[in-house]
């Protein structure tokens, strides 16, 4: 028989979508990130949870390659990555449609943009200028822009921290819906414990100065989830405990 | 869940504003009309000597008389000088503003020189320009160009340096080349500041035109001004002033309407809702 040879080195089951090994990252004399191992499988939703200034946003910028000055290795990274910033960052002189297709100048794919506008629930606003939009609507446009390049991974940096609680719930559901429909992985930076647990398959609790992953929580609940689910409440306790023992709260 | 019932009509407020726009115009006209009527009465009553302050009706007649003959020649001469000077000055201003604004290296090389040149009151150039370039068109156009250069340059550099870094980062996220970054983000974002510069440059251009023409000219509105003074004809001086005001307002209105059209996207305070 042709028995496969077992070698000591076990190969990972699937090639990870993202594999980032950070040894350290400093701004001047301040060490913001320590050792962090970040891996994402295709379609996986992962949150980085931690307080302001713990380096979670920096970690996201390393993945996006907006910052390449760190020690460590980016083993693999999907070709197409979308980014949704904390603020919508729409070009105020461009219409909603032009903003969504921003990466392709005037020759953007009209049909795809129209489809995205409908998906994020902004029908009829294609020609509107950003100044006519509310904060939540502007962030919907930003999400659509992030999806326009058909990324395998969408990075979100505290995307809903500037909108009210009800809008935030709606946008979280929209985001989960879009992630499933487009079969993309999400990496979400947040300081909202509930948001992290509601959205993610895995929550990485980031501790302070220098930032390292001090706890990994797996949320083994099916989507769509119920915000009142007791298991979420239990996980919430665990997350708070992890944050507490990391002397974050 | 349906959000499609929402409709957006950005221009829908305009019709309601229509009647009040005329009222606003009437408000703006009230003071000048009142002054004209008052002047007319005061001069007719003989409270002011007519050789010092001609009645507005007399100025109007002078204007009509001029319009029959020499006025267009003077306007043509002045207008072509202003346009040439403004075009050259503004173009150079934009060029250097873009260069200095986009490159710290260029800033280090050029900015100190421009800063010290800017400190020279522009009219101080007049004697030098006359010595170097003579009293012909070249010296006048050069003077106007110098006047137009600095507002455009200064506002242009400030506009570029005030661009939101966060918007620029969006371009970097997409891996835009420097040229594409300039075209898609930097240029449109700097446009409001550039327009401010262009408009103040245009009004300075008219000012420097008059300065240049007062000193040495045989044609132009500034020549009309000095001619009126030399022949003791205040009506001529006033007529020239009125034409200058109209031309200045007209040319600024042209830029303002361009600004209005290109910068509708701005979300700025327009003076309403202050409670004042």
For residues A6 and B229, which has the higher predicted lDDT (pLDDT)? B229
**Average pLDDT of B203-215?**
93
Q: Suggest the residue from A58, A67, A91, A94 to mutate for an interface test with chain B (most B CBs closer than 10 A).
A: A91
pLDDT at B17: 53
Going from N- to C-terminal start, the domains of chain A cover 31-80+152-249, 91-150
- Contact A33/A70 with Cβ under 8 angstroms? yes
Q: Worst-scoring range by mean pLDDT, A151-160, B4-13, B91-100, B141-150?
A: B4-13
The chain-wide mean pLDDT, for chain B, equals 89
pLDDT at B50: 79
Q: In the predicted model, is pLDDT for residue B3 greater than 50?
A: no
Question: Is A121 within 8 Å of B1 when comparing Cβ atoms?
Answer: yes
Count of C-beta atoms within a 10 Å radius of residue B64: 11
For residue A210, is the peptide bond before it cis, meaning its omega torsion is within 30 degrees of 0? Answer: yes
Interface test with A, best of B173, B194, B259, B268 (most A CBs within 10 A): B173
Query: Looking at the partner chain, which of A83, A103, A132 has a beta carbon nearest the beta carbon of B10?
Result: A132
Q: Is the pLDDT of residue A1 over 50?
A: no
Angle between helices B187-215 and B137-161 (to 10 degrees): 150
In the block, tokens 């010290």 appear at B116
Model confidence at A30, pLDDT cuts 50, 70, 90, reads confident
A87 and B166 in contact by Cβ < 8 A? yes
Our CA-based measurement puts residue B156 at a distance from the nearest CA of chain A, in whole angstroms, of: 18
Q: How does pLDDT run across B152-202, given as a tens digit for each residue?
A: 999 999 999 999 999 999 999 898 999 999 999 999 999 999 999 999 999
Residues 6+ apart with CB under 8 A from B133: B139, B142
- pLDDT, average across residues A39-62: 89
- Chain A nearest-CA distance from B144, in A, is 33
CA neighbor of B247 nearest in space, from B194, B276, B213, B209? B209
Measured between CA atoms, how close is B181 to chain A, in angstroms? 11
Which positions in chain A touch B191 (Cβ < 8 Å)?
A: 93
- Domain boundaries defined on chain B: 55-262
User: What does the pLDDT read at residue A150?
Assistant: 92
- Contacting residues of A for B169, CB less than 8 Å apart: 66, 85, 89
CA–CA separation, A200 and A197 (whole Å): 6
CA dist B129 and B150 (Å) reads 17
Q: Nearest CA of chain B to the CA of A66: how many Å?
A: 7
Query: Would the pLDDT of A227 be above 90?
Result: no
> Which residues of chain B approach chain A closer than 8 Å at the C-beta?
1, 3-4, 6-8, 10, 166-167, 169-170, 172-174, 180, 184-185, 188-189, 191, 263-267
pLDDT confidence of residue B181: 93
- Greatest extent of chain A over all pairs of C-alpha atoms, in Å: 70
Q: Chain A 91-150, CB below 8 Å of chain B: which residues?
A: 91-94, 102-103, 105, 121-125, 128-132
Single out the residue of A42, A36, A32, A41 nearest to residue A21, CA to CA: A36
Q: Out of B4, B173, B188, whose CB is closest to A83?
A: B173
- Select the residue of A83, A93, A123 nearest B188 (Cβ to Cβ): A93
Reduced to 3 states (helix: H, G, I; strand: E, B; else coil), residue A152 is coil
pLDDT tens-place string over residues B30-49? 999 999 999 999 998 988 88
Task: Decide which of A15 and B176 is more confident.
Answer: B176
Looking at the predicted structure, is the pLDDT value of residue A123 above 70? yes
Q: Is A183 on the interface with B (CB under 8 A)?
A: no
Q: Which ipTM score applies to this complex?
A: 0.85
Beta bridge partners of A157: A189
Judged against a pLDDT cut of 60, whether residue A172 lies above it is answered with: yes
pLDDT at B8: 45
The sign one gets for the Cα dihedral A18, A20, A26, A31 is positive
Span A28-32, average pLDDT: 85
Q: H or E stretch including B69?
A: none
Given a cut of 60, whether residue A191 has pLDDT beyond it is yes
CB pairs under 8 A between A and B: 57
End-to-end CA, chain B = 43
> Is the CATH code 3.40.50.300 the one for domain B55-262?
no
CB–CB contact B265 A125 (8 Å): no
- The shortest C-alpha distance from B258 to chain A (Å) reads 15
Inter-chain touch B184–A64, beta carbons under 8 Å: no
pLDDT at res. A63 = 92
**Residue B44 Cα distances to B35, B38, B47, B62, B228, angstroms:** 14, 10, 8, 17, 22
- Inter-chain touch A93–B265, beta carbons under 8 Å: yes
Burial of B267 (0-12, 13-18, 19+ CB in 10 A): exposed
CATH class in words for A31-80+152-249: alpha beta
Polymer length of chain A: 249
């Amino acid at each position: 028989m042709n028995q496969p040879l077992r070698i000591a080195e076990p190969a990972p089951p699937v090639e990870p979508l993202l594999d980032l090994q950070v040894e350290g990252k400093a701004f001047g004399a301040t060490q913001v990130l320590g050792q962090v191992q970040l891996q994402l499988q295709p379609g996986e939703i992962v949150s980085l949870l931690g307080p302001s200034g713990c380096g979670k946003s920096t970690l996201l910028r390393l993945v996006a390659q907006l910052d390449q000055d760190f020690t460590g290795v980016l083993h693999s990274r999907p070709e197409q990555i979308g980014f949704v910033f904390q603020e919508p960052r729409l070009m105020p002189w461009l219409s909603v449609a032009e903003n969504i297709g921003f990466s392709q100048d005037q020759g953007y794919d009209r049909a795809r943009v129209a489809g995205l506008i409908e998906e994020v629930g902004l029908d009829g606003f294609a020609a509107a200028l950003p100044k006519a939009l509310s904060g939540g609507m502007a962030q919907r446009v930003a999400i659509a822009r992030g999806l326009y390049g058909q990324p395998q991974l969408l990075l979100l940096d505290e995307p809903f921290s500037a909108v009210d609680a009800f809008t935030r719930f709606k946008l979280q559901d929209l985001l989960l819906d879009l992630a499933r429909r487009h079969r993309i992985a999400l990496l979400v930076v947040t300081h909202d414990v509930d948001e992290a647990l509601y959205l993610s398959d895995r929550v990485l609790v980031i501790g302070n100065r220098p930032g390292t992953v001090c706890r990994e929580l797996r949320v083994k609940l099916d989507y769509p989830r119920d915000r009142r689910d007791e298991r979420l409440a239990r996980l919430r306790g665990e997350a708070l405990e992890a944050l507490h023992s990391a002397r974050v709260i | 869940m349906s959000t499609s019932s929402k409709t957006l009509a950005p221009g829908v407020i305009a019709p309601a504003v229509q009647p009040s726009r005329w009222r606003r115009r009437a408000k703006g006209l009230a003071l000048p009309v009142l002054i004209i009527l008052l002047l007319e009465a005061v001069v007719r009553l003989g409270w002011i000597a007519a050789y010092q302050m001609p009645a507005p009706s007399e100025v109007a007649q002078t204007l009509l008389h001029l319009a029959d003959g020499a006025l267009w020649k003077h306007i043509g001469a002045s207008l072509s000088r202003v346009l040439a000077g403004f075009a050259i000055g503004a173009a150079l201003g934009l060029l250097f503003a873009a260069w200095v604004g986009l490159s710290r290296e260029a800033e280090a090389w050029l900015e100190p020189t421009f800063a010290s040149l800017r400190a020279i009151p522009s009219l101080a150039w007049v004697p030098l320009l006359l010595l170097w370039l003579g009293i012909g068109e070249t010296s006048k156009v050069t003077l106007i160009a110098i006047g137009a250069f600095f507002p455009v340059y200064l506002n242009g550099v400030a506009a570029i340096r005030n661009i939101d870094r966060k918007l620029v980062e969006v371009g970097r996220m997409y891996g835009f080349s420097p040229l594409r970054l300039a075209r898609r983000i930097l240029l449109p974002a700097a446009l409001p500041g550039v327009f401010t510069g262009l408009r103040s440059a245009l009004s300075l251009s008219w000012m420097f035109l008059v300065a240049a023409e007062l000193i040495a000219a045989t044609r132009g509105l500034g020549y009309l001004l000095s001619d009126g003074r030399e022949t003791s004809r205040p009506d001529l001086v006033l007529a020239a002033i009125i034409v200058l005001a109209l031309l200045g307002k007209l040319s600024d209105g042209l830029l303002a309407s361009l600004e209005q059209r290109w910068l509708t996207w701005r979300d700025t305070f327009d003076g309403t809702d202050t409670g004042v």
